[in-house]
Amino acid sequence: MWGSMNRWKPARRGSMLLAMWCACLACEVPPRSAGADLPNVVLITADDLGWLDLPVYGNPDLSTPHIDRLAREGVRFTRAFVAAPSCSSSRASIMTGQYPHTNGVTGLAHRHLGATLSPFRDTLADLLSAAGYETGLAGKWHVAPYLPAGWYGYNERLSGLLDPWIRDMDPILDFITRHQERPFYLEINFMNTHREDSGEFEFDPAFPVDPDAVQVSDYLQLPDWPEVRHELAKFYSQTMGMDAMIGDVLRTLDRLDLAKNTLVLFVSDNGPPFPGSKMTLYDRGIATPLIVRWPARVPAGSVRHAMLSTVDILPTLLESIGQSVPEWVQGRSFLPLLARGGADTHRDAIFAQMTNHVDYIPTRAVRTKRFKYIRNYSDIAIGLDQLHTAKWAHRLCDRPDQPWKRPRPREELYDLVVDPNEQTSLIDDPSHQPILEELRKRLDTHMQQTADPFLDAPFGHDHDPRAYEPR
């Protein structure tokens, strides 16, 4: 059965007895000398950062020396994909190793209360805590924002309960220092590259970026307008601010002589917050930067082109500490890819989905190395998310190549070699009917095996053009 219920989890519901029990457990965690081979684990997530937005992935318009260092001293993956291009669903899939329709987080948890991750479902923090790790959470907690993180396996919360932004690194660095003698799991969820509630970005004063020097990356499929370059400049400025805080973490690990046996994994939750990226199942929505550094085990400067999904992160981290992977996990460990040599293969296809973001956008996809098949279950438009008040974004949607306010088709098919930016659907091309039928079957099989409730669902005509007018 998919999903798992930890038998003692009901007691988590605010019980003071549980807090006392957890404190006792913490006292029994073995010191480093008793478990010297157990690596520390630091999971760093960026928010709305695309797979080609960083210098190590070819972007020359910003400087991120500390993320560059992670790549230089570890393994950089070029074909990693999130399970869903929306914050809550993506993060819950990382935390559970399950697809959103299995773990139940099928939309933004702060907007759809029914999409909150159940405290009865095991998480990565639960499993590492049970394995003897001290567990800490900093920053965005978007899978169950109105419930205590302690119900999900975190011993300590290191940033504000109601503020998802990391504004002070001292509690995070103190956590590392206090637990240097024990194995620890530290989850750092940065918000810098997410828009403010107003829908705007602000320049980080410490990291100026000249909009006139910015080049609009081809992968974003946006015009070279001054408004777009200005948005990108602010986005890059915030990315550089996040990178500086990552540098604080790396320096602390160095100072305490913990770097060698600390596995640091850097990933984003979905594509960038621009029209046609985040919330879509195109590569610019679901592809993610993914870097793993672990000097004790991982050769420096490696690049892997194997396809993998973020549901694979949980089983990989469990195997890295010698733990078995529960049968309810839907991901598959890519630990062999972290070793020197060996085949650079993992999956021959990845699966991605959307059900809700703020609005209902039901869609599913299967991607192989060459082709992408997308099945929409409604003609509801993707929309503009936080850019719904930006006049330039609505003007953008007047262009024929920017259909984000228009009805979606039932199916889409793209040749990613010929058309890497997914601009020309081949759904009606007779020469591609065999691959279309193959991918339809692959998606159906995946949906059947994972009990996806949208299997065999009809295509809904729900598009309402009034919903996409400027507000």
> What's the CATH number where 99 sits?
3.40.720.10
Judgement on whether residues 357 and 326 belong to the same structural domain of the protein: no
Distance CA 122, CA 343 (A): 32
- Among candidate residues 231, 285, 233, 269, the one with its CA nearest the CA of residue 396: 231
CA atoms of 398 and 464, how far apart (whole Å): 17
Q: Select the more confidently predicted residue: 18 or 233.
A: 233
Pair (54, 143) in one structural domain = yes
Would residue 1 count as lying in a domain?
no
Please give the structure tokens belonging to residue 466: 């009034």
Average pLDDT over residues 155-167: 88
Rounded to whole angstroms, how far apart are CA atoms 75 and 77?
7
Q: How confident is the model at residue 163 (pLDDT cuts 50, 70, 90)?
A: confident
Q: Are residues 268 and 370 in the same domain?
A: no
Rounded to two decimals, what is the model's pTM? 0.93
Spatial CA neighbour of 313 closest among 300, 329, 297, 299: 329
More confident call, 256 vs 3: 256
When divided into structural domains, the chain yields a total of 2
Q: Which two tokens stand for residue 212?
A: 């006139």
pLDDT of res. 1:
33
pLDDT at 12 over 90: no
Q: Are 307 and 360 in a shared domain?
A: no
Q: Encode pLDDT of 75-103 as tens digits.
A: 999 999 999 999 999 999 999 999 999 99
SS3 category, 185: strand
Does residue 362 contact residue 354 with C-beta atoms inside 8 Å?
A: yes
- Residue corresponding to tokens 């990356």: 217
CA–CA distance, 85 with 296 (Å, rounded to integer): 33
Select from 274, 305, 312, 278 the least CA-distant residue to 392: 274
Nearest one of 56, 53, 44 to 273, comparing CA atoms: 53
Band of pLDDT at residue 251, cut at 50, 70 and 90: very high
Q: Which residues contact 445 (CB under 8 A, 6 or more apart)?
A: none
- 199 lies in some domain: yes
Do both 344 and 356 map to the same domain? Answer: no
In the block, residue with structure tokens 């602000």: 202
Q: Could you tell me if 214 and 243 lie in one domain?
A: yes
Same structural domain, 199 and 290: yes
Confidence of residue 112 (pLDDT cuts 50, 70, 90): confident
Please list, in sequence order, all residues whose beta carbon lies within 8 angstroms of the beta carbon of residue 328, skipping any fewer than 6 positions away: 1, 2, 3, 4, 98, 122
Span 211-225, average pLDDT: 96
Statement to judge: residues 325 and 387 lie in one domain: no
The residues, any chain, with a CB within 8 Å of residue 197's CB and separated by 6 or more, are: none
Is 4 among the domain residues?
no
Give residue-wise pLDDT tens across range 394-405.
999 999 999 999
The boundaries of the domain holding residue 279 are 9-348
pLDDT band at 152 (very low <50, low <70, confident <90, very high): very high
